[in-house]
Amino acid sequence: MDAQRATGRLEGKVAIVFGGTYGIGEGIVKVLQREGANVVMTGRNDEKGAKAAKNIPSAVFIQGDISDLESCHRVAKETHERFGMINIVVCNAGIFPTANIEDMTEEHISSVIDVNLKGTIYATKACLPYLKESAKSNRGARLIFTSSITGEHTGCRGFGVYGATKS
């Protein structure tokens, strides 16, 4: 099947992509839109968010920090208020440390865990009531988590903490 062909199978659905302003997340936003979804992309960096919104004008950028539960609640609430539902939540946000474990500070380790692990839990917790509402009304509800192939490479230099939090 042609990768650019849209099927419209997500027409009328609403998706949030946490970590959707660049890289894999931005690609996910584009695919969801191509399939007909209304898409909200989040990220901590307003500059990257503005750039992504310029590249994908029909997507909505809401600044949000997945490692902060209140921020996740705000993103979910704003999305629901704007579109009236949430059908798809993609937890894609992640940070990749460039240091070996023995060189990482406690603060650096905590930030990786806060974004990659706790953030996924926070985003899920914040969006779950809206997803349940969509599921009960037969509008569909999906949670999608991006992980990493590095889980099997935790013994490799620089992959330990990241692999543990994204596998």
Active site residue 130: no
Predicted TM-score (pTM) above 0.85 = yes
Q: Where are the alpha helices (DSSP H) in 40-118?
A: 46-55, 69-83, 106-113
Q: What is the pLDDT of residues 15-44, one digit of tens each?
A: 999 999 999 999 999 999 999 999 999 999
Query: What angle do the packed helices 23-34 and 46-55 form, to 10 degrees?
Result: 40
Distance CA 116, CA 114 (A): 6
Q: For 142-158, give the DSSP string.
A: EEEE---GGGGGTTSTT
Q: Which of 125 and 6 is assigned the larger pLDDT? A: 125
134 CB burial (10 A radius; 0-12, 13-18, 19+): buried
The size of the chain, in residues, is: 167
CATH architecture for the domain at 14-166: 3-Layer(aba) Sandwich (3.40)
In sequence order, the β-bridge partners of residue 145 are 91
Q: What is the pLDDT of residues 46-95, one digit of tens each?
A: 999 999 999 998 999 999 999 999 999 999 999 999 999 999 999 999 98
What percent of the chain stands above pLDDT 90? Answer: 72
What residue segments make up the domains of the chain, in order of their start? 14-166
- With CA atoms as reference, report the closest residue to 22 among 61, 77, 66: 61
